[in-house]
Amino acid sequence: MQLNSLRMTKEMGSRMLNRKIYKILFASFIITSMIIIININRDNNNDQSLPETENLDFVLEEGKGNGDEDNIGENNSDKKNNGNENSAGGNDNLKKERVKVKAVYITGASAGNEAFLDKIINFTKNTELNAVVIDVKEDGKVNYESNLKSVRDIKGYSELYNVEKVIKKLKDNGIYVIGRVVCFRDNHLAIKRPDLAIKRRDGSIWKENNAIAWTNPFNQEVWEYNIEIAKEAVEKGFDEIQFDYVRFPAVSNKEVYYGENLPEKADAINGFLKEAAAELKEKGAIVSADIFAIVCESPGDTEGIGQVLERVGMDIDYISPMIYPSHYANNSRGMMGNGVGQSINGIVFTAPDLKPYEVVYNVLEKTKNRISEVENYKAEVRPYIQGFTASYLPKGYYQVYGPEQIKQQIKAVYDAGYEEWIVWDAGNNYVENAFKKD
C-alpha cells in the first residue's frame, strides 16, 4: 500500500508539474502570438506609405533615360508637383522627376536683382517658361557664399545673391532651378593653384587669348573641386546641376602640355561626368552638360576638346548642344567667316544667323540620327538656343534676334521631335512675348 501510495503521489506530482509546464508553455504561446500580431499590424501600418515611394523609385529609375512617361510641368499647376516642393537647402534623396524644361539663363548678378527675378517669375505665369538656369560657379568663382574649405581657402566666391532666398522664391512659384557650374575654364583656381593649371611647354601658365587661364581636365583634384561645388549647390536646393566648359580649350597640343602617359581627352571628359553623375545621383540631383553644337556635326573629337557626341551622354541625364546660328561659319571673310559657310546635316548655310529655324532643326535632326545608333545612350537632348543679337558679325550676316527669331528656334525644337529648350542671352535681356506659345 505504501508503495502504491508513493507511486500515486509521484504520478500526481508529475501531472501537476506537467500542468504547470503546459500552462507556462500555453501562456508563452499566447504572449508570443500577440507580439507577432502586433508587429504584423505595425509593419502593415508602415507599409501603407511604402508602395508609392517604391513605385516612384522604380518609375524614375526605369524612365530616367526616356524623358517621356515621367515628364511633367506643362503648366503652372503641374509645376507645383514637379518635385520642387522641397524647401531650399534640402532634398528627399530621390531622383527628381523629369520636367519638360523651358528655361532662360540667368547670371549671378541678375539672380541677386529682386526686380529682375520678379519679372522672370511673372513670365512663367503667362508663357511656356517653367525653369531657369542660374550661375553657381562662373568666371572662376562661386556666385554666393560657399562653406567649402577648398573654395574659402582661395577666396573663390562672390556674394552676388542669397542662394537660399533666391531658390525658395523660385520654388514657391513652381519654377525648376538648374545650377550652372563652369568647370575647367577657371582662371581663379588656375592662378591660385598653378599646379592645377594648363601649362605651356616651357612650364608657364597658358592663357586663352593671353587673358584667361584654364585648369587641367586630366587632374583628379580639379574634378573633385568642381564636384564638391556641385554637391553643395544641390544641398542649397538646386534641382539640377549643369556642367559648362566641360571640355579642353581649343588649342593645339603643340602649344600646351598636359602631362605624360595620358588617356584620350574624351576619356577625361567622360570620366569626370561619370564620377560627377554618380556622386550627385546620391543627393537626388539630375545632371546635364553643355556641349559645342559643332560636335553634333563633326565625327569623333575633330575639334580636339574631348567632346564626342556618341560618348558624352552615356552617364548623364541631359546634353545641351549650344545651337547658336551666329556661331556657325559664314561665307564672309570677316568674323566667323571661312569663305564657304557651314554644312549642317548635308545643307550648306552661307549666312546661318539669318536662318534660325533651319539651323536649329537640322542640327537636331543630325543629332537625333547619330544618337539613335548608340546602344544604351542615356542623355536626353535639351538644346540651348540663341536669344542675343550677334552684331559683331559682318553686315548682312546677322539679324536682330527678337521674339520672332526665338520663336522660330523653339518651333524648330518641337518640329525635330524634342520638347525642351533653354534660351541664352548673356545680358539677360528677355521679353515676355518671346516665350508665349502662338
**Model confidence pLDDT, tens digit, residues 253-302:** 999 999 999 999 999 999 999 999 999 999 999 999 999 999 999 999 99
Query: How would residue 339 be classed by pLDDT, with cut points 50, 70 and 90?
Result: very high
Q: Does residue 187 or residue 38 have the better pLDDT? A: 187
Residue 320 resides in a domain: yes
Asked if 162 contacts 112 with a C-beta cutoff of 8 angstroms, the reply is yes
Q: Domain for residue 397, yes or no?
A: yes
For residue 342, pLDDT over 70 is answered with yes
Classify residue 79: in a domain, yes or no: no
As a whole number, mean pLDDT of residues 238-243 equals: 98
Listed range (76-80, 325-329, 382-386, 400-404) with the worst mean pLDDT: 76-80
Q: What percent of the chain has pLDDT over 90?
A: 77
33, with CB counted inside 10 A (0-12, 13-18, 19+), is exposed
The pLDDT score that the predictor gives to residue 98 is 85
Asked whether residue 22 is assigned to any structural domain, the reply reads no
- Taking the C-alpha atoms of residue 428 and residue 16, their distance in angstroms, rounded to an integer, is 93
Residue 416: give its domain's CATH number: 3.20.20.80
List the domain range (segments joined by +) for residue 356. Answer: 102-435
Q: Which range has the worst mean pLDDT, 22-26, 324-328, 429-433?
A: 22-26
Residue 319 pLDDT class (50, 70, 90 cuts): very high
Predicted local distance difference test score (pLDDT) of residue 96: 65
Of residues 295 and 43, more confidence is placed in: 295
Q: Give dist(CA 174, CA 112) in Å, integer.
A: 19
Does 7 score more than 80 pLDDT? no
Q: Place 2 in a pLDDT band, splitting at 50, 70 and 90.
A: very low
Look at residue 385 and tell me if it is in a domain: yes
Predicted confidence (pLDDT) per residue in 149-180, tens digit: 999 999 999 999 999 999 999 999 999 999 99
Where residue 97 falls among pLDDT bands split at 50, 70, 90? confident
SS3 annotation, the chain: CHHHHHHHHHHHHHHHHHHHHHHHHHHHHHHHHHHHHHHHHHHHHHHCCHHHHHHHHHHHHHHCCCCCCCCECCCHHHHCCCCCCCCCCCCCCCCCCCECCEEEEECHHHHCCHHHHHHHHHHHHHCCCCEEEEEEEECCEECCCCCCHHHHCCCCECCCCCHHHHHHHHHHCCCEEEEEEECCCCHHHHHHCHHHECEECCCCECEECCCEECECCCCHHHHHHHHHHHHHHHHHCCCEEEEECCCCCCCCCCCEECCCCCCCHHHHHHHHHHHHHHHHHCCCCEEEEEEEHHHHCCCCCCCCCCCCHHHHCCCCCEEEEEECHHHCCECCCCCCECCCCEEECCEEECCHHHCHHHHHHHHHHHHHHHHCCCCCCCCEECCEEECCCCCCCCCCCCCCCCHHHHHHHHHHHHHCCCCCEEEECCCCCCCHHHHCCC
The pLDDT-based confidence of 410 (bands split at 50, 70, 90) is: very high
For the cut 50, the answer to whether the pLDDT of residue 425 exceeds it is yes
> Among 34-48, 324-338, 360-374, which is the least confidently predicted range?
34-48
Per-residue pLDDT at 35 exceeds 60: no
pLDDT above 70: percentage of residues in the chain: 78
Number of domains in the chain: 1
Q: How many residues does the chain have?
A: 438
Q: What are phi and psi of 113, to 5 degrees?
A: -95, 105
Instruction: Give a yes or no: residue 155 inside a domain.
Output: yes
The C-alpha atoms of residue 256 and residue 248 are separated, in whole angstroms, by 11
Could you tell me the pLDDT band of residue 433, with boundaries at 50, 70 and 90?
very high
| Residue 23 binned pLDDT confidence (cut-offs 50, 70, 90) | very low
Ramachandran category for residue 20: left, alpha or beta (phi over 0 → left; psi -120 to 50 → alpha):
alpha
pLDDT of residue 89: 42
Mean pLDDT across the chain: 84
Residue 91 lies in a domain: no
pTM equals: 0.79
| In a domain? residue 371 | yes
Phi-psi region of 237 (alpha: psi -120 to 50; beta: other; left: phi over 0): left
